[in-house]
């Protein structure tokens, strides 16, 4: 077991690295592609000329022109300027289940036998990956109690939208067209309101009772008022503040009593693997973020998977195709006339599913349950340490409900004492080699929030290091506030963008070319 150690002399690399487009020199190449041989030209003709005019580019593709050496140096510099999970104690991403992602699984998906499989190739040559999808689906059925899964959604938000679409298809199949309202809770993930709203539903928010639990009495009144207009309820459990709803089954019963459906957002299921299931809680639909709970890297707006499952009576509405097995071969079933359609191309992000399948098969059923148990132990040990820090509290701290594997803390007292809040603390912890922590979804119902989720991957020493770093920064807030207010001092960038700037879409540049369109080249340092 390693010892807890706070890196007080830590300093992140700072390369003042330009955008790769700024390193571009016209005519530079990383590799020279061989010219097409004359006999090939004679045989196939002018391929470019044969293209329809509508698909021809009007100008050359604007890619950076950089040689191999400088491409390698550029990206090595960027990795050195980033405190990621491979080099830092990143238990800080509450609600996101940061955990160790086995490197062997990354190697598996880079294998040519997998990496070069295309979703449009013949089914006969796709049996391997279809088998993985089929078998992983059965694992997810066991974990959740649901009867059928799709891996088509590209993340949790899309899974929730998929669930709202299934609800609509179900109600319309019954000619129950009055159901236009969804109920969610204020501490559920924001997508549990946003996705149904995008799908055309009205959304009602429930606020918590005095213990921080979704208010059952208030929900009862809503159900009475909405009645046959209630399409369903969308609930994250545990909610983002870390509290598990002890009345979850009663919410399901009330919803079903008026003909509504129940959606269980279990994106973060780390505390419940092998312990409890959505089915026994009374829910009809649920999803898991495979890129969180099941040991695959976070999507980062890239490859992810929101595995969505439902009970038998809803399976016909799932997006098509589904992966099936006839006893001899695996195949894609597009013959689903009551499906609501598709939410993305093909049938899911195969790399994420394969890595998750490998992770589960390595651990087995007992290993999954151990993940849950260790996650709960880690969270409660860290919680005990952190609540000893002067100025730090916790949301609904005296409600008598044991936290599972995440907690929402509050620096409200520290702010009252010193004028230093969670944003200031977040910047300063970087100076001790700790990545910024997850604060809270907006709006901040808990003042000066900090949300931590130490899952099973972190050792006792990791937890103690994180606690020690936060304790040092909190003490600095009381004894030397200016050093906290002026942080970070040891990060790759010492200048933090003003929040007003970040909240103005007119100032954003999602891509380099988009940035230049808005701002020209006045910020370009390298010509």
pLDDT of residue 2: 61
Do strands 407-410 and 449-452 pair parallel, antiparallel, or not at all (unpaired)?
A: antiparallel
- Whose tokens are 């890239």? That residue is 302
pTM, 2 dp: 0.89
Maximum CA pair distance of the chain? 81
Count helices and strands (H / E) in the chain.
18, 12
Q: Are 196 and 246 in contact (CB under 8 A)?
A: no
| Partners of 184 in the β-ladder | 205
Note whether 315 and 147 are within 8 A (CB).
yes
Q: What is the mean pLDDT of each run of 10 residues along the chain (527 residues)?
A: 78 88 91 88 87 88 91 92 79 86 92 92 94 97 97 94 97 95 96 96 96 95 96 93 92 97 94 92 95 84 87 97 96 96 91 96 96 95 97 93 91 98 95 92 93 93 95 98 94 74 80 82 56
Rounded CA separation 153/309 (Å): 11
Burial category of 32 from C-beta neighbours within 10 Å (exposed 0-12, middle 13-18, buried 19 and up): exposed
Instruction: Report pLDDT for 508.
Output: 79
Residues written for the chain: 527
Q: What local confidence, expressed as pLDDT, does residue 527 receive?
A: 41
Tell me the pLDDT tens digit for each residue of 446-464: 999 999 999 999 999 999 9
Structure tokens at 337: 């006339």
**Domains of the chain: residue spans and CATH:** 117-348 (3.40.640.10), 372-502 (3.90.1150.10)
Rounded distance between C-alpha atoms, residue 236 and residue 259, angstroms: 21
Read out DSSP for 5-54? ---TT-------PPPGGGG--TT--SSPPPPPPHHHHHHH--HHHHS-GG
């Amino acid at each position: 077991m390693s010892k807890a150690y706070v890196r007080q002399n830590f300093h992140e690399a700072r390369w003042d690295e330009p955008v790769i487009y700024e390193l571009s020199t016209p005519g530079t190449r990383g590799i020279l592609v061989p010219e097409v041989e004359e006999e090939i030209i004679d045989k196939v003709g002018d391929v470019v000329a044969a293209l329809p005019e509508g698909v021809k580019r009007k100008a050359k593709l604007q890619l950076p022109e950089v040689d191999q050496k400088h491409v390698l140096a550029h990206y090595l510099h960027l990795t050195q300027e980033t405190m990621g999970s491979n080099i830092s104690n990143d238990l800080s991403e509450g609600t996101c289940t940061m955990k160790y992602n086995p490197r062997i699984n990354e190697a598996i998906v880079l294998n040519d036998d997998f990496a070069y499989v295309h979703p449009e190739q013949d089914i006969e040559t796709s049996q391997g990956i279809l088998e993985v999808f089929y078998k992983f689906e059965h694992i997810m059925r066991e974990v959740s109690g649901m009867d059928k899964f799709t891996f088509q959604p590209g993340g949790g938000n899309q899974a929730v939208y998929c669930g709202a679409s299934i609800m609509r298809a179900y109600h319309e199949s019954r000619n129950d067209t009055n159901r236009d309202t969804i109920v969610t809770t204020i501490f559920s993930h924001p997508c549990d309101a946003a996705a149904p709203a995008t799908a055309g539903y009205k959304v009602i928010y429930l606020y918590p009772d005095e213990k921080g639990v979704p208010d059952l009495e208030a929900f009862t009144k809503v159900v009475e008022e909405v009645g046959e207009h209630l399409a369903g309820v969308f609930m994250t459990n545990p909610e983002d503040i870390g509290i598990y709803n002890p009345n979850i089954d009663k919410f399901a019963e009330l919803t079903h009593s008026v003909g509504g459906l129940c959606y269980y957002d279990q994106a973060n299921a780390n505390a419940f693997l092998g312990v409890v299931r959505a089915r026994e809680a009374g829910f009809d639909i649920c999803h898991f973020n495979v890129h969180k709970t099941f040991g695959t890297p976070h999507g980062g707006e890239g490859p992810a998977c929101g595995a969505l499952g439902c009970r038998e009576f809803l399976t016909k509405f799932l997006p098509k195709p589904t992966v099936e097995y006839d006893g001899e071969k695996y195949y894609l079933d597009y013959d689903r006339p009551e499906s609501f359609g598709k939410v993305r191309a093909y049938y899911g992000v195969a790399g994420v599913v394969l890595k998750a399948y490998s992770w589960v098969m390595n651990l087995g059923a007992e290993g999954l349950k151990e993940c849950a148990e260790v996650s709960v132990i880690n969270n409660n040990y860290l919680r005990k340490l952190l609540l000893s820090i002067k100025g730090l509290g916790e949301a609904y701290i005296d409600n008598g409900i044991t936290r599972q594997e995440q907690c929402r803390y509050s620096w409200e007292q520290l702010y009252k004492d010193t004028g230093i809040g969670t944003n200031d603390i977040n910047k300063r912890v970087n100076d001790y080699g700790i990545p910024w922590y997850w604060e809270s979804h907006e709006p901040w119902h808990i003042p000066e929030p900090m949300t931590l989720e130490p899952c099973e991957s972190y050792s006792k020493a990791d937890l103690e290091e994180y606690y020690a770093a936060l304790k040092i920064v909190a003490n600095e807030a009381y004894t030397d506030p200016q050093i906290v207010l002026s942080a970070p001092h040891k990060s790759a960038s010492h200048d933090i963008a003003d929040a007003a700037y970040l909240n103005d879409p007119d100032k954003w540049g999602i891509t380099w070319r988009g940035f230049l369109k808005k701002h020209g080249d006045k910020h370009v340092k390298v010509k």
